[in-house]
A = this chain, B = another copy of it.
Amino acid sequence: MGRRKRFDPQDAKEAMKQIFWQQGYEGTSLQDLERVTALPKQSLYREFGDKRGMYLAALSAYEAEEVRAASRILRAHSDPKQAFAALFDAVLRPVEEQDDRRGCFLCNAASDRTTIEPAIDTWVNAAMVRMLATFTAALGDTDKGDQKARALLAGYVGIRVLARSGLPTPDLRMAANRLIESTR
Contacts and interface: CB of A to CB of B under 8 A. Distances in A.
A146 to B, nearest CB: 6
Interface stretch (A10-18, A47-55, A71-79, A113-121): A113-121
Given A22-B114, A23-B114, A26-B24, A147 B174 contact: yes
Nearest to A150: B175
Interface in A101-148: 103, 107-108, 110-115, 121-122, 124-125, 128-129, 132, 144, 146-148
Contact of A148 (B147, B148, B178): B178
Q: Which 6 A-B pairs have the closest CB atoms?
A: A154-B158, A158-B158, A26-B26, A151-B178, A110-B165, A157-B158
A27 interface: yes
11 contacts: A26-B27, A110-B161, A111-B112, A132-B171, A147-B174, A154-B158, A154-B175, A155-B155, A157-B157, A157-B162, A158-B159
